[in-house]
């Protein structure tokens, strides 16, 4: 009987730890970014969470930019977001695309 209780407590503890892990580490977002050829690591996504940045607010615009053929640093997008900018607005992307059309390779 004590072995059964210990086993159940262990199973519940493992489930709780896994739930906390998957709620903090955005595995699905990382898979989607990797499938879209966006170069961002799991540790960078966790670091965004630690800095109180919503990773999807940075990664989704990076996916859009990569699909449009642009190379944009996640550090610059994150800095813009932390400064209060909206990285997903059309006006922002027009301002980003303009220098690239004039010949700049990266922003």
- pLDDT (tens, 9 = 90+) of the chain, 107 residues, equals 788 899 999 999 999 999 988 888 899 999 999 999 999 999 999 999 999 899 998 998 888 888 878 888 888 888 888 888 877 776 666 666 667 666 665 55
Say whether 79 sits in a helix, a strand or coil.
helix
What is the model's pTM? 0.71
Report in angstroms the alpha-carbon separations of 57 from 8, 12, 21, 54, 94: 39, 33, 20, 6, 18
The whole-angstrom separation of Cα 51 and Cα 33 is 20
Say whether 71 sits in a helix, a strand or coil.
strand
User: Residue 106 in contact with residue 73, Cβ under 8 Å?
Assistant: yes
The whole-angstrom separation of Cα 11 and Cα 21 is 15
């Amino acid at each position: 009987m004590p072995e059964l209780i210990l086993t159940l407590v262990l199973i519940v503890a493992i489930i709780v730890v896994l739930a906390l892990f998957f709620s903090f580490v955005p595995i699905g977002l990382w898979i989607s970014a990797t499938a879209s050829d966006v170069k961002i690591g799991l540790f960078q996504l966790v670091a965004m969470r630690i800095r109180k940045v919503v990773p999807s607010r940075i990664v989704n615009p990076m996916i859009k930019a990569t699909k449009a053929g642009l190379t944009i640093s996640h550090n610059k997008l994150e800095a813009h977001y932390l400064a209060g900018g909206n990285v997903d607005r059309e006006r922002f992307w027009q301002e980003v695309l303009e220098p690239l059309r004039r010949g700049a390779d990266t922003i």
